[in-house]
Amino acid sequence: MKTIDGYQNKQVLILGLAKSGLAAAKLVKSLGAKVVVNDQKPYDENDAAQELEAIGIKVVCGHHPLELLDGVDVIIKNPGIPYSNPLLQEALKRKLSIITEVELAYQVSEAPFIGITGSNGKTTTTTLIYKMLEEDRKNPLIAGNIGTVACEVAQEAKSENIIVTELSSFQLMGIETFKPKISLFLNLFEAHLDYHGTKEEYAQAKANIFKNQTQDDFAVVNMDDAEVRKVSEGIAAQIVPFSVKEEVKDGAYLLNNQLYFCNEAVMNVKDVVLPGKHNLENILAAIAVVKLLGCSNEAIYRVLTTFAGVKHRVQYVTTINKRKFYNDSKATNILATTVALSAFTQPTILLAGGLDRGNEFDELKPSLEHVKAVITFGETAPKIERVAKEAGIQVVKRVDNVKQAVIEAYDCSEEDDVVLLSPACASWDQFKTFEERGDMFIKSVHKLK
């Protein structure tokens, strides 16, 4: 870890705990800061707050009093807290520095970063990059939304490591100096409008991944996504394209069933075990990143012939009486569900619903051709039901939760059907995380046996 003095005797407010806030509070305290933690969860129910108070950090729980801003030099906020929060609104008026934990991680890290963002496919691609580098003994570490909190990883990282980091728009809105050696922008789709307000603000937040890069850095960019191309125009980093549609000679592409990088055939697509056409974009993006770091084709081949996907992302669960069950709980927006549906051609029963972020679901209609039934739950159930009925689906049923959805889906299924949990919505109306939602689905499926 770098020795930095920027926090010595500075007043730092940690806004929101969870894993990132807990790690950030401990780190800035070790750097000599005067730390105050503010979290909405009541103190009596807040293990993290109690842990911090036990090591001498002041905690304020249950509300966000504005007087906490008096004398503050830096706010490190939980990415999930929107800037519409009254405390943050006042902080912005006072022109206080507001960062997220990934910025702190960058400040103390001896190792360079790979930063991966996009609306969909981040977790799969981050995992692929990490596994390929690990297979080739490039000393990768994994951090961010996947793996360990970034500032914990950064404290242990050495200069010979490279930190592979999945980054959300929420995190990227809170950076000041963060600069990945290689940035990767996978795709851009209308999402998180409840947080960002507009697609334009969402796109700009994602594009922050490029803002501090120089001509010595690389930006891996999806040439098949017009929005991604647009926000990457004029950036300082060297652009390395990837495409499943075009032969981009200076990047990664698909040609005659071969995966290429810079005119070099890496491997044949038929040997890839990761399911779904949509994953070809993720694979090409990963290849572009790791080849920039000198990864061998042999290491790439070994990963792509063994890696079948990550949990909660079109994850095969089991087969019961010739019905196949798949868990795609990480599909927290419409595009992710569209992509998941495209992975199947057989009759499918879709389980969908969750937090209402203000989206309509008409964009799902073209993907529902082979969907024979839709089981809905959560806040968005009525909206999804409308779209399903307009698409001509005969069986559309609403239930209270995922457990009931599994039972209902099985009851209306037949042999050779696919039962797919792909909610197209965030989980926060009924669950703390999409992982919790996916785990409930898996458990409920196994109970059918």
- Percent of the chain at pLDDT exceeding 90: 85
How sure is the predictor about 382, in pLDDT bands with cuts at 50, 70 and 90? very high
How sure is the predictor about 276, in pLDDT bands with cuts at 50, 70 and 90? confident
> Alpha-carbon torsion 363, 368, 369, 374, what sign?
negative
What's the mean pLDDT in 128-133? 98
Whether the pLDDT of residue 389 is over 90: the answer is yes
Whether the pLDDT of residue 372 is over 60: the answer is yes
Whether the pLDDT of residue 5 is over 70: the answer is yes
Binding-site residue positions: 118-124
Whether the pLDDT of residue 113 is over 60: the answer is yes
How sure is the predictor about 449, in pLDDT bands with cuts at 50, 70 and 90? confident
How sure is the predictor about 18, in pLDDT bands with cuts at 50, 70 and 90? confident
pLDDT at residue 193, rounded to an integer: 58
Residue range 292-329, pLDDT digits in tens: 999 999 999 999 999 978 888 888 899 999 999 999 99
Binding-site residue positions for ATP: 118-124
Residue ranges, comma separated, of all CATH 3.90.190.20 domains in the chain are 315-447
What's the mean pLDDT in 74-87? 93
pLDDT at residue 147, rounded to an integer: 75
| Separation between Cα atoms, residue 33 and residue 13, nearest integer Å | 10
Decide: 332 and 434 in contact? Cβ < 8 Å. yes
Amino acid at 380: T
Residue ranges, comma separated, of all CATH 3.40.50.720 domains in the chain are 11-99
- Percent of the chain at pLDDT exceeding 70: 98
Whether the pLDDT of residue 148 is over 80: the answer is yes
> Alpha-carbon torsion 220, 224, 227, 231, what sign?
positive
pLDDT at residue 194, rounded to an integer: 61
pLDDT at residue 191, rounded to an integer: 55
* CATH fold group of domain 102-304: UDP-N-acetylmuramoyl-L-alanine:D-glutamate ligase (3.40.1190)
CATH of domain 11-99: 3.40.50.720
What's the mean pLDDT in 100-124? 95
What's the mean pLDDT in 168-193? 89
pLDDT at residue 195, rounded to an integer: 58
How does the average pLDDT of the chain come out, rounded? 94
The domain 315-447 belongs to what CATH superfamily?
Answer: Mur ligase, C-terminal domain (3.90.190.20)
pLDDT at residue 47, rounded to an integer: 94
Residue ranges, comma separated, of all CATH 3.40.1190.10 domains in the chain are 102-304
| Separation between Cα atoms, residue 80 and residue 88, nearest integer Å | 12
CB count in 10 Å sphere of residue 424: 27
Residue range 244-263, pLDDT digits in tens: 999 999 999 999 999 999 99
Residue range 220-243, pLDDT digits in tens: 999 999 999 999 999 999 999 999
